[in-house]
Structures are given as C-alpha cells and as structure tokens.
Structure 1
C-alpha cells in the first residue's frame, strides 16, 4: 500500500485524501447515535480519517486473496445446497414415489414445503444476519441442513418426508440472503455481478455432476433403497463441509485472519465507491421502514416471484418431464446433464454481458427469450418417439432461465445501501422467491402428465411478465438518479458525479484523469464522492449514491 502523499503512477487508481473528509477523531466520535458502519470505526481505529491511496496492483492483489479464500467456500456450499434440494427430483426417478405411497399432489408438496419453510424464515433471518457474525452463522445452518437431509433416509411415508423437507427448508433459507450479504461485503459493485453468477452457477454444476453421481449411486446394490443412499451420501458430505466453512469463512473483511492489517484496510477502502457500507451489527427500524416503503423493493419482489414460479416447477418436475419423452430412469438422469451445462453457460455468460454493458435490465430481458421459445415447443409438440429430439431441445432452451435469478440478486443488492435496509430488502425479494417456488411445483401435477400444460402455459406468461417488469424497474431507477442529481445541485454539488464502482481499474483511472483535465487541475487529485460511504446511510438518504440500470 502506497503512502498517502506519494504520487500515483499513470494507469493506477488513486483514492485520494479528501480535504473535506473527517478526521480520525471525528470518525471515532459517533455523532449519529451509534449508527455508523463498522468500517468507519475500523478506519478510525487505524488513524485513517482521510482516504488512502490504493494502487491498482494493491487492489488486484487483495482481490486475488479474497477470490482464493472466500469464493471457493461459497461455491462448494452453494453446490451442496443445490444437490441437497435436487435429491428429491433424483429420488423420484428411483422409486421414491412408489415406495412411500405418494399420490395426488403429495410429491408436489414435497417440493413446495422447502420454499414454504424459507418463506417463514426470511423475516427473522434479516434480523439475524444484521446482528450475528455471518460466517459462523452460515456454517451452523449448513451443518443443520446436512443433518436434516440425512434424516430423510429414515422417512417412509408422506408425513415423514414432509417434516424433514420442512426442516431442510428452514436451514437452507439462510444461504441466498447470507451469500448476497457476503458478496456485498467483499467485492466492488463491478465485481459482484460475476461473483454472484459464479456461486449461483453451482446449480448448473449440480445438474451436471449431481446427475452423474446419482447415476452411480443408483447402481449400488444394497439393502437400502437407491434414494435412501442418495439422501445419506449427500447429507454426510454437507455435514463434513460445514466444519470447513466454520473454520475458514471470516465474518467480515476487518475480521479476516487471512488478510494482514494493511490488506484489511485496502479491502475496506476499495469498497468505498460502492456507497453501500460494510456491516453495522445494529438493527435500525428506520431502515426497515424505508425498505418496506421503497417501490424498488417491490419491483425486486415481483421480478424474483415471477422467475421463481417456473424455477420451482422445473426444478421439481424437470426429470419427470424428460421421462415423459419415453426414456427410462437412467436415461432420464443422463439427459438432465445438458440442462445443467446450458444453465451454467447462461448464468455466467449473462453476468459477464451485464458487467460489460454495465446494465442488468436488458440482459434479464434477453435471457427470457429462449425459455419463451422452449415453453412453446413443449406445449405444441406431441409426446412421441419422432419428436424426442425436438422435445429435448425445447427443454434445454427452458434451462436458460436460471441465469435470470442471480442478475436480479445483483440488481437489487447494487441498488440498496445501509446494513439493515440491505438485509430487509433481501428478505422482501426472497419472500417473493419463496412464494414463487411454493406455487411453481403445484402448477405441475402427475395427473396432467405427460403434457403438463397448465405449468408450461403459466411459465410462458411469466417470462413475458418479467420483460415488462424489467422495463418498469429501469424507468424508476432512471427517475431516482435524476432526483439525486437535483438534490446534489440543491446542496451546491455537481449534478454529475464520478462513480467508478462499475468500472475496471483502467476505466476508473481514465475517468479520474479526464475529470482532472476538465477541471483544469491536471496535476491535482480529483475529489471524489464517497465521504459518506461508511455512515450506514441508505441509498435514498445518500445523495451521492448512483443507481445501476
């Protein structure tokens, strides 16, 4: 890390000391009633009342450290979570329905009950994620859901399966909000979209390798049923990894053992331009009220609700849909592998495209088009041997839809600031996701096989609705940016501010250099925004916050 007064070489980022920035004493003296972010307290403790200079090399080095330690933990946990939820679909083709006497819509309820449990858990989770150390809390939840999954092997009827699936949902409910919060806490806004896609893309890896693992487990000769072996195998692996998670996952950048004190400062400072804060560990009811009254929250709710109905239905009934094309149980499992590959490509590819154009809305709308075509194909094509290839193609087109969900996560998280408001907004949108996932499997019933017309038609309508919602959300975010610009002018600030949180390091350096030349102070550092970044302000309170379209 460079000294504060040293010049920064060309092509490197300078986060320069702001003449008007607070002193260490001002930072330490919390004049907001104890509402400052922990990052402000950390910087004050280290005597850093002003911004420090971070070179591009320092930023890249710390980013590599974060990616090396934090990201693999998230990838494995999300992979296991996807596996654990998918075990029901895998078990369904290995005799679970027949052996446990499921009938009517009971199998559909086993898919929905997980999301019903997640729906119930979202409000208390918002409070817990603000108040508790997030790394240790998440590890405890991983341990608990691994135990719940293992216990499913002992369930021999609908009641037992329903109870264990409910517990599985209770403990898995923490994964998405925890991971969204962790992503906000460790990476810049530009980096968040792709990192979110990485851990969410583990669902695609699950569909690929989970199918292969299940294929192998299904051939084991044992006194246990094949589906019982599946439940025990994946449950035990999850329990074991929870201890790895507990040991290695830090609760925040300022508490990370794998970072030196100097690197902790860099890790915090590089997040300043996010304008989103870090952690507070203090619950604020005013933030909760703002989250509930903010129209943005309900746009995210509607978007995630709309994509989760198709997601819940396909994730539960996908293998059964393939089976209606005329394949046996082992062929069904193998033909589900390309579904995961397409899902992986769509998720990561969509994120890179959104990062490149610095917009989420157009990419979400684009990703709706293949599933629309796929739904139409499955609705109109007959289920006979002559159309198997076309039916599979339609099914694989539908598999593009998972790329939409992580973009909604990122779109919401990058447009929300303030610790309590972030967690509360996450809870709102994940309530929408849970409701959608509860409804989704219930739109598909075994009595409607092989066509599943009601489920596919509803999914088709919802993909169209998402495109409309994207347009409305984008218009509202533009309005908010105009309102913030007007507020800045009224306060004597520039209407246009430099926001480098979505820029690459070279783009950020070029933007600052261009601003300096425009201001006629080519040799002087530009005074940037971000002085209030760690004051635990919401996105609507902080007039310097820039909304991402």
Structure 2
C-alpha cells in the first residue's frame, strides 16, 4: 500500500519530465551538449580519470581533513579542560559536566536537519565554511565563562554551528566520488578524529604549561582563533558542487558527472520531493542504520567524555593523562584507515568490516571493566587504546545512506535521520558514567558492552536485507530480458530516481 501511495504522489508532483525533475548533473550535460557517447569516451580514458581524481583529492581532502581535525580538537576542548582546572574554576559538579556533554548534542539534534535543508537549497560550501568561522568564535567566547550556565549556553551554540559538518561532508563525498571510492575518502577525513586526538594532546600539553591565565581558558582561546582562520580558508577554497566548481574544465565536470552516474544516486537536485521523504521513512534499511548509529554514539558519548577521566584515575596527574591519550588517537587513525581501505578494495565487505571492527571495542571495554586499575594499569591502558575501533564501523555506517540510497531528497532525509540517532546516542552516553563509580565507571562499561554487541547483530541484519534485495532485483532483471529493458536502462539515469524506483540499482553490502 505504501508503494502505491508513493507512486501516486510522484505522478501528481512530477508529470512530464522537466529540468526541475532532472538531477542537476543531467541538466548540466544537456545544457552543454554532452552526448552519452562523449561521456563514455571520457570515462574510457583511464589516464584522464586518474589525473582528475588526483586533482579532486588534492582540492577536497586537505580541506575536509583539516576541518575534521579541528572539529575533533574543538569538541574535545571540554574533556581536555576537565583534566585541568575547568571544574574548580567554574564550580561545576560531575553531573553538570555530564550535561555539558549532552547539551552539545541537543543543539546538534535541533540544528542538523535545518542546516542540511539549507545546504541542499543554497550553497553547501558556504554553509559549511560560515559555520566553521562561527564555531571558532564561540570557542573564544567560552573562555570568558565563569559558571555552568554560561558554559551551557556556549556549549549549546557550539553544537548548533558544528551540526552541518559531518552530514554535509558525507554528501560531498557522495557527490564527487564513485561508490567504490567513497569509504576510503570518508575514512581519510574521519580518521582525522584520531589525528586530532594526537595533535590536540600535544597542543594541550603545551598550553598546560601556561602560568598567566587559567589553562582551560587558554585552551579555548587558542583553539578558537585557529578555527576562525581555517573557516576563512574553507570559504575561499571549498567548492559548492561539481557544476559550479571553478578549478575544473567543462570536460572535467562532464567526466565527474558521468562517474556519478555509476552510483545511480544522482549528483545534486535542489527540488525537495516529498514522496522521497516518505520513502525514506518506510525503508527498513534506514531504520537499521538509525538504530546502529544510536547504539554506536551511546558508546561514543561515554568514551569521548569520560575516557580521559578514567586514565587520570590511573595517573593522578593532568599532564601525564594528556600524554597517555595520544596513542589512543594513533590507534583510532589505524582502525579507520585500515577498515575503510579494505572496504574500498574488496567489494561488498562493508557490513563484514562493521562487525569485525566492533570486536576490539568489546574486548577493550571488558579490560577497562574487569582488570584491576591498581595492579593491571598496562592492561587497562591497552583496553583504552583498542576500545576506539568502533569508530571504523561508524564511518562505514555514516557512508551507507550516500552509497545505498538513490534520490537526492531521500538521501538527505536519511542522512538527517541517521544523524538524529547520532545526536540522541551522544546525549544518552555520558549519563551512563556515574560519578560515584569513578574511576572505573562500571555501569558505563556495561552499557558500552551491550551496545556494541547489539550493533553486531544489526550489521548482520543489514547485510541479510541487502543481499535479499539484490537477489530480488537480479531475478526481476533476468525475467525482463528481451522486453523493454534496454529502453529503460537508457533512460533511468535522466531522472532523480530513488533506489526503490530504479530497477538497475544494486545495494553495496
């Protein structure tokens, strides 16, 4: 019944195909006279493809990676500050500190979909770069706070301004790269969480030597100033989309759009299609990803905000705690890059990797929970270092909507739903770590163990669902041979079709 409703609404909205109904990339090709034969000729030129993708990498990856490094460091400024003098300087309790961690994601939750909607309707790069400047300014303002109330307001606004970054970056990767190339590219910038942990640790160690003002205020002022400068760089150099990018020739753009056709997900379409929103809401794949992300970020919300306090319980010294956190970043860098590289090189193994990279997290949290923090400190540290492997599963799950969903509005809606779960999980996570259980936080460890195990089951369910769908489509395609299949194949790329509408769409496992 739901499919018939979608079809009826689509017929009412669409009617005859117009430029508004076409994907923006197809409009560009038609306007500039690029035929299918010419596109295929460009795509067959392997040398040109390699040069072009290298150019795209050199333009996009440093900007995305740099932004993600700063985002992680800036978001972690709260955890770094708590190791030093934040709690005593602002007269905060441990429970209020937990709420500061959650408030950020309440804001993220409220702002993420409006920003994604604005990015689709206007210029994505300008939305991103403007918010980078704004969150840098908000960090600097935070340094003036003297109470929990002031910190809460600044933390909320920081969440508002950081909200569009990850969803927009996932959409950018989905726009510029083929499905085979997307996991590793997403992994490159997301692994900068690990790089950010290392750089942030070194920066904080250096800032921790200051004697002129409170260390936590110096952390916020310096990190905020760096971020404002970076936001200006983003504004100048990050392209809004393939079509308007200034550093590419018409043939380069045509080739990039032709490569995008291979994804069968479209390049960009600024028209909001309500039937695609409805389709996203009834797609089981979207809801599996939703709950996978909810569990994943419940884990993250606890680890990101309390792991450093666990390590401080081992050492008792703030500067030593900061230094011991640096290897955690190196491990996270390894987990994300290795997992996403394998996912890019081996077809249809993404859900398998999502399962495999949850195992170190399960082992690590067991070590944190069960080993003595007095006599087994090295074992506890090792558990802390390997627990971050879940981030690789996060990256692959984040990329799934851009990879496995057709229709621009359906993709943006699904990304928004997944990030809703992202926010809710990060709100829940810190509250599982009870102050009375410091420094082991037994309840928090149990919650992480339960969430990671449930994620494993969800990843298996997702794989089985996608295998079933591909088999159904292969069977339908085989029975359609010799009818009007060739004609449909020639035309299915001209519209902004969802994966449900396009019979040639195949899901990546």
Bin of the TM-score, shorter chain as denominator length: over 0.9
Q: Does the 8 A contact of 2:108 with 2:423 survive in 1?
A: yes
Q: Name the Cα RMSD after superposition.
A: 1.9
Residues 33 and 490 from structure 1, CA distance in 2 versus in 1: closer, same or farther, beyond 3 angstroms? farther
Q: Does structure 1 residue 39 correspond to structure 2 residue 30?
A: no
Deviation, structure 1 residue 412 = 2.8
Residues 116 and 164, structure 2, Cα contact 8 Å, conserved in 1:
no
Q: What SS class does the counterpart of residue 253 from structure 1 fall into?
A: coil
**For each residue in 1:513-549, what CA deviation from the matched residue of structure 2 results, as whole angstroms up to 9, or x when unmatched?**
xxxxxxxxxxxxx999674234111111111111011
Matched, 1:315 2:275: no
What is the CA deviation profile of residues 342-397 of structure 1, one whole-angstrom value per residue up to 9, with x for unaligned ones? 0000000001111222221110110011111111111111221x211111011112
Structure 1 spans left out of the alignment, 5+ residues:
1-28, 498-525
Going from structure 1 to structure 2, the CA distance change for 1:231 and 1:490 (only over 3 Å counts) comes to same
Cα drift, residue 125 of structure 1: 2.9
Shift of 1:326: 2.7
Task: Return the alpha-carbon distance in structure 1 between the equivalents of residues 428 and 505 of structure 2.
Answer: 36
CA distance in 1, matches of 2:86, 2:503: 56
Does 2:61 correspond to 1:71? yes
Match of 2:138 in 1: 148
CA distance in 2, matches of 1:425, 1:333: 37
Quote the offset at 1:32 in angstroms: 4.9
In 2, the alpha carbon distance for the partners of 1:476 and 1:37 equals: 28
With structure 2 as the length reference, what TM-score do the two structures score?
A: 0.93
Matches within 5 A, 1:217-236: 217-222=207-212, 224-236=213-225
Task: State the match for 2:194 in structure 1.
Answer: 204
Structure 1 segment 99-138 matched on structure 2, within 5 A:
99-138=89-128
CA distance in 2, matches of 1:210, 1:449: 24
**Alignment counterpart, residue 269 of structure 2, candidates 280, 289, 295:** 280
Kept in 1: contact 2:34–2:254 (CA 8 A): no
**Which SS does the other structure have where 1:190 is aligned?**
coil
CA change 1:128–1:194 in 2 (3 A) is same
Work out whether residues 292 and 458 of structure 2, in 8 Å CA contact, stay in contact via their aligned partners in 1: yes
Contact 1:413 1:422 in 2 (8 A): yes
Report the Cα offset of residue 33 of structure 1.
7.4
1:289 to 278, 281, 293: 278
Match of 2:292 among 267, 281, 303: 303
Name 1:360's counterpart in structure 2. 350
* Equivalent in the alignment of 2:4: none
Which residue of structure 1 lines up, in the alignment, with residue 384 of structure 2? 395
Structure 1 match to 2:148: 158
CA contact (8 A) 1:371 1:398 kept: yes
Q: Is the 8 A contact 1:205 1:341 kept in 2?
A: yes
The answer as to whether partners of 2:182 and 2:344 remain within 8 angstroms in 1 is no
1:241 alignment counterpart: 230
Per the alignment, residue 325 of structure 2 pairs with 336
Query: How many angstroms does 1:213 deviate by?
Result: 0.5
Detail structure 1 runs of 4+ shifted over 4 Å in the superposition. Answer: 526-531
Secondary structure of the corresponding residue to residue 414 of structure 1: helix
Q: Partners of 2:491 and 2:310 in 1: how far apart?
A: 54
More moved, 338-347 vs 109-118:
109-118
- Alpha-carbon separation, structure 1, partners of 2:153 and 2:467: 46
Contact 2:357 2:393 in 1 (8 A): yes
1:532 aligns with: 492
Superposition TM-score, scaled by structure 1 size? 0.86
Q: What aligned pairs does 1:48-59 form with structure 2 within 5 A after superposition?
A: 48-51=34-37, 52=39, 53=41, 54=43, 55-59=45-49
Once the two structures are TM-superposed, the CA of residue 60 in structure 1 deviates from its matched residue by 0.7
- Does the 8 Å CA contact 1:138/1:174 hold for their aligned counterparts? yes
Mapping 1:343-422, distance limit 5 Å? 343-358=332-347, 359-384=349-374, 386-422=375-411
Provide the rounded CA distance (Å) in 2 between the counterparts of 1:531 and 1:249. Answer: 32
Q: In 1, distance between residues paired with 2:216 and 2:483?
A: 63
- The worse-fitting range, judged by mean Cα deviation, of 181-190 and 399-408 is 399-408
Higher helix share: 2
| Cα distance, 1:532–1:350 mapped onto 2, change above 3 Å | same
Deviations along 1:441-483, one digit per CA (max 9) or x if unpaired, are 1111322201200101110011111110011111111121123
Q: CA deviation at 1:491?
A: 4.1
Q: Is the contact between residue 80 and residue 322 of structure 2 (CA under 8 Å) also seen in structure 1?
A: yes
| Structure 1 residues 530 and 248, CA gap change in structure 2 (3 angstroms) | farther
2:205 counterpart (209, 215, 223):
215
Residues 311 and 381 in structure 2, CA contact (< 8 A), matched pair in contact too: yes
Contact 1:139 1:243 in 2 (8 A): yes
Q: Supply the distance in 1 between the matched residues of 2:503 and 2:149 (Cα, whole angstroms).
A: 53
Q: Which residue in 2 is equivalent to 1:179?
A: 169
- Cα distance between partner residues in 2 of 1:295 and 1:114: 29
1:225 and 1:336 map into 2 onto residues whose CA distance is: 21
